Structure 1
Amino acid sequence: MTTIGILHPGSMGAAVAGELTGNGHTVLWCAASRSAASKARATKFNLEPVEELDELLDRSAVVISLCPPGAAEAVARSVADRRYPRLYVEANAVSPQRMERMAELLAEAGATVVDGGVVGSPPSGTRSPRLYLSGAEEDVKRIAALFADTRVRAQRLPGGIGQASALKLSFASYQKASRALAAVAHAMANEYGVGAELLDIAEHHSGRHLADLDYTADVAAKAWRWESEMREVAAALTAVGLPVDLALGAADVLSRWAPSKDAELDPIEALNQLRSTP
């Protein structure tokens, strides 16, 4: 069995760590200055408290960082400052570029780094998130083995540091933005007194756009019309004091397909047109 340090467990981190304790591993966490809610989660998932980061690092063969993305680099730096010489899993939602910077920082301090990305809800009786892993093959295999027969489905990715982070953010770019768009849409409908009607439309609308790559080429062909429609959406949002950035951002995306008016593209051609001109 392995002793693992978890930094700094919120709802996802604590639940993922709980899968490790359920597999017989010892999981340490730093309890100093943490909230009562954090301590309650740690108790629920049988995490062992330590008072100082130094103790956690001294005892842990593996450290997993699962914290808010904005804190990820500071957490990595605090570990690097202590010259941690073993295996560090950076499992936060960070850009591939930030991931590479943190990996370099930690490697210079003696650590071996694995890139990780959790996709899905915290593990529970009905939920089994995926933990995507990339990096050196033997290191990735070692981390995947820790989660064998748990509700966290570890999946190895080809390629090195940055691949898991890229996949995580590719999914998050749709998952999180689509929820924000839905909130803005409902807020606008309510402001104009048509909230119930929008819900009725939504209940009869089915769409799995992220799973239908061919649909992207259809959007590219129609984008010359949709761009102006999104700018009208922005005007309607502005009139009632709602955020317009998402609508204008969508219009800017659609504008990149303007040369493809009514054209027949394959999906990859359509995606390539979204790149900025060098």
Structure 2
Amino acid sequence: MTIVGVLHPGSMGAAVAAQAKLSGAEVLWCTTGRSSATKERALKYGLTAVSDLRELVDKADVILSICPPAYAEDVAVEVSTHGFAGTYVDGNAISPATMARVYAIAARGGASVLDGSIIGSPPSGSKSPCLYLSGPEDALATVASLFTESAVQTRALSGGIGRASALKLSYSSYQKTSRVLAAVSYALARDYGVEEELLDIAQGRATSYLAETDYIPKVAARSWRWGPEMGEVADALKEAGLPADLVEASATVMSRWDDLRDTSLSISAVLERLHGEPD
């Protein structure tokens, strides 16, 4: 039986890790420093609690790091400190350069490192995200086998470390920034009383995030995490010699929603927060 450790079981991490149980794997999580919400998620998905990180590292064959991008390197350092020599999968939304640093940190401890990116919503009966992986072929096969009977699809990318991260940020740069721009567009239209007309225009198009107004409060509630991700996108664009102004501006917009983490406000309340500088 393969033993998988997940760091840390957030809404995506817990759901993805739990899918590995369908292949017969046991999934561990570390309770140290975790919130009551995290504990509830772990219980919901039937994850096995261990008391500290050393115990998780000692027992796990595979570790999945699925956390906010700002913590990816710190998590790798913590795991490496305990000498993890199994397969370490960084599934975070980080730039190829950040992934290279994570690789160096985790490999220093003896781990076989995979660059991973998750595209899509947390897996469920109706949703099937894709886990893209790049890195050593033997490690790719090991991780892919964990999800063969699950709602998580896996795709191998050639070219080594950095490819999966680049794919994630290429997608994020449009998907998340366009949703932020939709919010700004509605804020302007609302000031002039033409939001209904803007919605009518958007609904006449084949596809448009402007037609998904119900998603705007969800963007605000996730901006505490998406803002740092845009920082990673900006780094990736700069590394490629491309302009990063738009995603940097998106991060600035998101900073006005920093304190709305996990809230469920109305569209009107969320748009109002875009006026003026954040406190």
TM-score scaled by length of structure 1: 0.74
Displacement of 1:249: 6.5
SS class of match (1:149): coil
In structure 1, stretches of 5+ residues that fail to align are: 210-244, 251-278
Aligned 1:95-106 pairs, distance under 5 A: 95-106=95-106
Say whether residues 1:194 and 2:194 are aligned partners: yes
What is the one-letter code of the residue matched to 2:202? A
Query: Residue type matched to 1:63 in 2?
Result: I
CA distance in 2, matches of 1:137, 1:161: 11
Amino acid aligned to 2:196: A
**Alignment partner of 2:4: what SS?**
strand
**8 A contact 1:21–1:45 mirrored in 2:** no
Listed one character per residue, the Cα deviations across residues 197-249 of structure 1 (whole Å, up to 9, x for unaligned) are: 1111111112479xxxxxxxxxxxxxxxxxxxxxxxxxxxxxxxxxxx75997
Paired with 2:118 and 2:191, the residues of 1 have a C-alpha distance of 36
**Superposition deviation, residue 22 in structure 1:** 2.7
> Whose RCO is larger (CA < 8 A, sep 6+)?
2
Distance 1:101-1:200 versus aligned 2 partners, 3 A rule? same
2:31 maps to what in 1?
A: 31
1:167 to 2:162 alignment? no
Corresponding letter in the other structure for 2:25: H
> TM-score, normalising length from structure 2?
0.74
Q: Is 2:47 the partner of 1:47?
A: yes
- Separation in structure 2 between the aligned mates of residue 170 and residue 247 of structure 1, nearest angstrom: 11
User: C-alpha displacement at 1:130, in angstroms?
Assistant: 0.2
SS of 2:179's equivalent in the other structure is helix
Structure ID, larger Rg: 1
Q: State the 1:104 CA deviation.
A: 1.0
> Would the aligned equivalents of 1:181 and 1:246 in 2 still touch at CA under 8 Å?
no
Q: Distance in 2 between matches of 1:183 and 1:117?
A: 26
SS in 1 for 2:154: strand
* Aligned CA distance change for structure 1 residues 248 and 139 (closer, same or farther; 3 Å): closer
Supply the AA of the counterpart residue of 1:45: Y
Measure the CA separation in 2 of the matches of 1:202 and 1:125.
Answer: 30
Change (3 A) 1:187 1:247: farther
Q: 2:19 maps to what in 1?
A: 19
Q: Distance in 1 between matches of 2:128 and 2:141?
A: 19
CA spacing shift, 1:247–1:110, aligned 2, 3 Å = closer
Structural mapping, 1:138-217, within 5 Å? 138-207=138-207
SS of equivalent residue, structure 1 residue 133: strand
One-letter code of the match for 1:27?
Answer: V
Pairing 1:4–2:13 present: no
1:33 Cα deviation after fit: 2.2
1:114 — aligned with what?
A: 114
Amino acid at match of 2:45: F
Per the alignment, do residues 247 and 205 of structure 1 end up closer, same or farther by CA in structure 2, a change over 3 Å counting? farther
1:68 maps to 68
- Provide Cα deviations, 1:42-90, integer angstroms capped at 9, x if missing partner: 0111100111000000000111100111111100011111121111001
Cα deviation digits, residues 127-153 of structure 1 (max 9, x gap): 000000000111111111111121000
SS of structure 2 residue aligned to 1:32 = coil
What residue identity is the alignment partner of 1:188? L
Cα separation, 2, equivalents of 1:108 and 1:181: 41
User: Residue 202 of structure 2 contacts residue 208 of structure 2 at CA under 8 Å; is this kept in 1?
Assistant: no
State how far apart, in whole Å, the 2-side matches of 1:248 and 1:73 are: 21
Cα shift at 1:159: 1.1
Deviation at 1:23, TM superposition (A): 2.5
**Counterparts of 1:109 and 1:247, CA distance in 2:** 34
Matched position secondary structure for 2:27: strand
Distance 1:5 1:247, change over 3 A: closer
